A and B are shown apart, each in its own frame.
Chain A
Amino acid sequence: MVDNDSNDGGQDYVAAQPDISLWSTKSGYGDARSGMDWLTFLQGKYADGHWALTVDVDEFFVYPFCDTRPMRALADWLDASEVRSFGAMLLDMYPKGPVSQAVYEKGQNPFDLASWFDAGNYVISRNELMRNLWIQGGPRARAFFADKPKTAPALNKIPFVKWSRQYAYVSSTHMILPRGLNLVYDQQGGEKTSGLLLHAKFLNTFGARAAQEAVRGQHYGDGREYQTYAEQNGADPDLWCNWSEKYINWRQLEVLGLMSKGNWA
């Protein structure tokens, strides 16, 4: 885990865990390609030949059978299937009502508050250069980017990779090199196995963070995304709508077509 100058006590918490190695840095997140430089270095050094899951602190990994099978089962199965990378789209979760009302307490499951999501408003196109899919949509696109859909944040992610020293993420975990690793999707009409990263972004902490990041400008495109949030609704949106789905479990996400079991049974 890399701690980028946090001030919420997270560092102390992590330091007390027996199974976490902690690195710290006070440098700018943006200057290190959204922190990817730090992680790529660590992965090259320690994760060569191992399955590596790369996530932000607000991303929660969901994969088929995650309630009954540990991640090692997934890794073993992917190994046996000769698959090197595993896709997990970012799924923005949000509360019912203004996000400022979803007051998160330390230790709480964030999805007790932000338990809703958009089931079917995602647009996909193929990036011919890198061969990855470019996915946009969800509540962020409809609430913040209706006027400039092209700039809506990318949701495609490839966070789980059988790492090799030669690999490198290109932009966050959206794309990876070599390009073959980006083919986490089937092109003949079948479905490859995939998961989701539940995104615990829309809690009461969102407004302050949006304002702060907009000024700091460390994020992708100098924090353009955060400037958009800050401009709108004073960054206190109500993303909930009549058709929002309430999260139950991975099977629900699978039936809705957001992720797939593929041929893992």
Chain B
Amino acid sequence: MTLGVVMLVHTALDRAAQAIRHWGAGGCPVVVHVDHKVDDARYSAFVAALADVKHIRFSKRFRCEWGTWGIVVASQAASTVMLAEFPDVRHVYLASGACLPLRPIAELRDYLDARPDSDFIESATTADVPWTVGGLDEERFVLRFPFSWKNRRRLFDRYVKIQMAVGFKRKIPAGLEPHMGSQWWCLTRRTLGAILNDPNRPVYDRYFRKVWIPDESYYQTLVRLHSNWIESRSLTLSKFDFQGKPHVFYDDHLELLRRSDCFVARKIWPQADLLYRAFPRTERATSTPNTATIDRIFTHAVIRRTRGRPGLYMQSCYPHMDRENGFTATPYSVLQGFDDIMPDFTAWLSRQASAEVHGHLYASDRAHFAGGEGVFRGGQSDSAKLRDYNGKTFLTDLIWNGRTHYQCFQFGPKDTQDISWMIAKDTNALISVVTGAWAIPLFRSGRAMRHVRKEAARLQQIEYKQLKILRSPYARARIHICSLSEFVAAPVDALQLIVDQIARYRGVAITELPAMADLTGFGEFLQDLKNQGMHPFLTGDFPIVKLPTSPAVKARKPYVAHGK
């Protein structure tokens, strides 16, 4: 009888009874505190049902509300009974009705026998460890909290603010250094007795009565005055989410709990029949608790709730534009002008880099998906109307759906411009623009000059507006802009940059260039536009003279002089 259990019970009395029987069968005396809120009839039935358990006591009942002093009073009263009535008990374990012993209780006893002087209690200073709930760390020890956090949140918050504004601070009793930690501890008789019989206890109790969530700080602080050896960890496996509410274990956690080798876990869902049948397990082991897997799963859950998956917009995650966690899921490339200069560019790029290369996704006739499909990944339709109904979502959906492949698409002034601002601000976007490239298809169209002039003016205006966006201080994308004449002078540099960006670092050196459109007479074409009053300033300068298409072959000198 070296281990005794103090148990706080407030709901799911049948499960609590089951847990009490487990402890009792393991040879542990149990002192039970039942919340005052449980009505007398249920309480009497509960007591009567446990009449056959040998070493069981019921302590005086107090009202226990979340985060209030009542919980501490309840544990004090029950602990006092435990120390007085069961003199053999060396360690006292504080548990709740929703705690379930996982391993044979004899193993826990062995474990404690090997560490007879250790107090197992999580106890950390507020200065060093940030606590989550309500964001109150140090404040919980120096402010007053007359209003319930659960039921009167607004009043609670306002009162805290006022106190902080006027600089109000309660005095912490001399000798105390505030510590916090999990409320579930296992203390030695010596330490627990010293805390309960401390001559200063009235002073400490008066102080902690007004502290916020005292059940997480009362023992955790006082143990620092009395303990010889503090093991600052809880023997009870208990994980908290971002709201400060304990994670609950269900039947599907069976394997996880089994492998954790923890002694006790909480909270168990009262209807988790499988867990209540499987634990405490009977076969013995000597392993030490290892909670790494459980910790990872619950940490992951909290991250999913607070950070989400970048680039995913869905029914339960719809962030404000300026707060969201990245517009899109992964990096992607927006390529402007290249396919005007090199009609074969899309096919060439898909050969050159491992990426899904789309045509003009925002073309006016339809979305030109890679491979020319009518419906693409995720069921996205190529219908221009559907796309333009919500152009931004079309892109975020496309990048999310294709997140396992690098996505590239062609863009240009002929396309719907709804996404201009979005891609400019998106840190995932890599935007390469050859300005004025739209002039080449016009040049090659052979249409009448008056049509061409009008269209050129329109496209130039659109592209100019877009360039202003790309050059605005809000632009966060990686942007590379060069004029058509610059590109024609050194095409490999710009193309290699695109290939490198897709490869994330250094791509394959370009050996084969895509065929360029024949630019013979392009200079004259631009001059013609200028003569019509439309100056294509985005193309850069092209010489008016005919560009030599192939080096002129000089006539060779004859080796043999013939004739005279």
Contacts and interface: CB of A to CB of B under 8 A. Distances in A.
Interface residues of B, number: 53
Nearest to A117: B379
Contact of A76 (B269, B323, B400): B269
A248 B172 CA distance: 59
Contacts of A259: 314-316
Interface residues of A, number: 60
Nearest to A254: B304
Contacts of B301: 261-265
Given A73-B271, A241-B375, A126 B318 contact: yes
A135 B380 CA distance: 15
Contact of A139 (B271, B376, B379): B379
Contacts of A190: 304-308, 317
Interface in A206-265: 241-244, 257-265
Interface in B297-330: 297-298, 300-302, 304-309, 312-320, 323-325
Contacts of A262: 301, 304-305, 316
Contacts of A126: 318
B139 interface: no
A121 B373 contact: no
B309 A191 contact: yes
A138 interface: yes
Given A119-B378, A190-B307, A190-B308, A68 B250 contact: yes
Contact of B375 (A70, A81, A142): A142
B379 A185 contact: no
A150 B316 CA distance: 22
Contacts of A73: 250, 269, 271
Interface string A140-157: 011001111110000010
Contacts of A108: none
A73 B319 CA distance: 28
Interface in B245-300: 245, 247-248, 250-252, 269, 271, 297-298, 300
A191 B316 CA distance: 6
A78 to B, nearest CB: 12
Interface in A69-92: 69-70, 72-73, 76-77, 80-82, 87-89
A155 B324 CA distance: 23
Interface in A173-226: 184-194
Given A133-B318, A189-B307, A120 B251 contact: no
Nearest to B392: A123
Residue from B250, B271, B309, B318 with most neighbouring chain A CB atoms (10 Å): B318
16 contacts: A68-B252, A123-B397, A124-B315, A141-B381, A142-B375, A146-B385, A185-B318, A186-B305, A186-B318, A189-B317, A190-B304, A191-B312, A194-B316, A257-B309, A260-B304, A263-B301
Q: Which 3 A-B pairs have the closest CB atoms?
A: A120-B378, A118-B379, A263-B305
